[in-house]
A and B are shown apart, each in its own frame.
Chain A
């Protein structure tokens, strides 16, 4: 079993839909939780960062962390075609800018 499991894809939704992306993990030492977005042929870019449990909102994006269940989520409201990309969850026990363990990613396609 991998340390970080991410829901398999791909995922296709119509424009304007609410998207829910999820990851589970097994390492209870993880304290730092991130979502990265990766466009085709590009490097990942940080979308959301949360320390420990709780919610964080940034525009159309909301990140949730439930450490008791070892479960994290990313919600995208009013999805746009420009949101079409691969979404990677990432976690660390030593710091958000140190060694990260990534999920395998889920490819999202938002249809106009």
Chain B
């Protein structure tokens, strides 16, 4: 497909479990972003990759959250020891490197921690 693809679209897990969320950006987009959106709130920045490296990870809430992008394309957001407060929609976006003003968002992965 032409857009940003996120899998799984829905994930239900138990408190304390480990979760991985995957993002496949638009082909050719060098920048990739993860945001978290709670119900009734706007997206909150988590981390931003330029190529393979994290250019800004200041939004990661704590060391249970980690993200990788080993080959500069697909990215995985990893959450260890999940807590109920981690329940949210996790949005991935990609963009071209130049300052075009547009992030292209995927449809998100909804995480529910029971």
Contact = CB atoms under 8 A, between A and B. Distances in A.
A76 B33 CA distance: 29
A99 B101 contact: no
A43 B4 contact: yes
A4 B42 CA distance: 10
A104 B37 CA distance: 9
Interface of B: 4, 31, 40-45, 48, 55-56, 58-59, 91, 93, 95-96, 99-108
B102 A102 contact: no
B41 A46 contact: no
Contact of B93 (A32, A34, A43, A51): A43
Nearest to B47: A99
Contacts of B93: 43
Nearest to B55: A98
A88 B45 CA distance: 14
Which of B42, B58, B103 counts the most A-chain CB atoms under 10 A from its CB?
Answer: B42
A88 B42 CA distance: 7
Nearest to B98: A97
Nearest to B99: A95
B47 to A, nearest CB: 9
Interface in A97-112: 97-105
Given A43-B106, A49-B102, A97-B95, A105 B48 contact: no
Given A42-B107, A43-B107, A105 B101 contact: no
